[in-house]
Amino acid sequence: NEKDGKSAILELEHFGTVKDPESDERYPCRILKIIEVEENQIVITIKGNFQKISGEEKVLKRILEKLYLGVDLPFFLNGDPNKFEWESNQVLFLEGKKSPLLKPFEYSGHHFKAYDESYKLNFEYSLSSQIKADTDSIKIYKFPIVAYAFTDEGYKKIYQGINILPRFKLRKEFEFNLIISIY
């Protein structure tokens, strides 16, 4: 990792295996995550590759056809949850109404923006891949993180945050970029 003034870079690497969805066989994979932070922007690059193993092409083919890479991106806004809104360049809401942030939703796209009216704060994701077809195939899932806690009044749902889960297509070699902007 490196830190310089108002910026920092962190690289995380993992060698592991991915389980074949139709058997107990596993296939080796390497993933590198690079996180670059500067001012109000975070750039996360995820690179990966499956090793070549002679005679195991069918296992890799099933993995690439049936599995995806999901990236968990939880965040928390401090304001009144009833005043949270969201939008995307790929979603058109009827009659210009915005959708409440806490309502679960899924769509195909590569952009997401949340707005906290209480603090006038924007939280924005832009997602991409080196291959345009992969960028166009990104699916985004959005849902609230809720805890059920015991209080003096019994069990209550307590808002803990929001989770955005982009789903990316796997290839033998892949690279995805996530840009997070806060303003």
* Residue-wise pLDDT tens digits, 45-65: 999 999 999 999 999 999 999
> Nearest-CA neighbor of 18 among 46, 73, 56?
56
Residues 126, 129, 130: CA angle, nearest 5 degrees: 135
**CATH of region 2-182, choose from 2.70.98.10, 3.40.50.2300, 3.40.50.620, 3.40.50.1100:** 2.70.98.10
> Nearest-CA neighbor of 161 among 78, 40, 71, 41?
78
For residue 135, which phi and psi values (nearest 5 degrees)? -60, -45
Domain range list for the chain? 2-182
* Residue-wise pLDDT tens digits, 89-125: 998 876 666 778 899 999 999 999 999 999 999 999 9
Does the structure show a pLDDT above 70 at 1? no
